[in-house]
Amino acid sequence: MNTNLILTVISDDKPGVVEALARTIAEHNGNWLESQLAHLAGKFAGVVQVQVASDSESALVTQLEAMSAQNIRIFIDRVENSRSTAGNSEQTLFFHAVGPDRPGIVREVAHTFAHYGINMEKLDTRLSSMPYSGEPLFEAEGTLTLPQGLDRTELEERLDDIANQLAMDISLRNVPSL
């Protein structure tokens, strides 16, 4: 029987962090399934799903926790059911938002999504500079899962209101089916 673990990893960004993590997982016959890894403000941060034989779980967890001696901090969560719930939703959408940076953009958009029962499955944000003026430009994009029965027109109207308030462009589009 296998166990699924979700690892949340943070350390100083330096060469070898991913290799050390992957080596530790492999030494316990674990399987690296999915991950999202990033460099943020001089730090390495990541979330990794690992599958390991139940009889190897304890030794793997002990070894992962010992990586704190290398300044690699790992939070470990055991997953009882790793099946996706995406099949329960009516539709998946891609969203994109871009405009002048200011505090509260993510809060406003995330609040609206939560209000409508929308699951934000992925969120990527970045800060750059506007051409010519050099003013900070905020950009966000991600994937949303809408609950069945949601009135997409009402959602788009609310997002238009937010876009007008924040002087941004916010768009939704269907994610192509595979």
CATH superfamily name and code, 2-79:
ACT domain (3.30.70.260)
DSSP string, 115-159: HTT-EEEEEEEEEEE-TTT--EEEEEEEEEEEPTT--HHHHHHHH
2-79 and 86-174: identical CATH topology: yes
Q: Which fold has domain 86-174?
A: Alpha-Beta Plaits (3.30.70)
pLDDT band at 30 (very low <50, low <70, confident <90, very high): very high
pLDDT band at 83 (very low <50, low <70, confident <90, very high): low
Q: For 50-70, write each residue's pLDDT tens digit.
A: 999 999 999 999 999 999 999
Q: Write down the pLDDT at residue 89.
A: 45
> Would you kindly state where each structural domain of the chain is located, as residue ranges?
2-79, 86-174
Q: Is the pTM of this model over 0.85?
A: no
In three-state secondary structure terms, 16 is coil
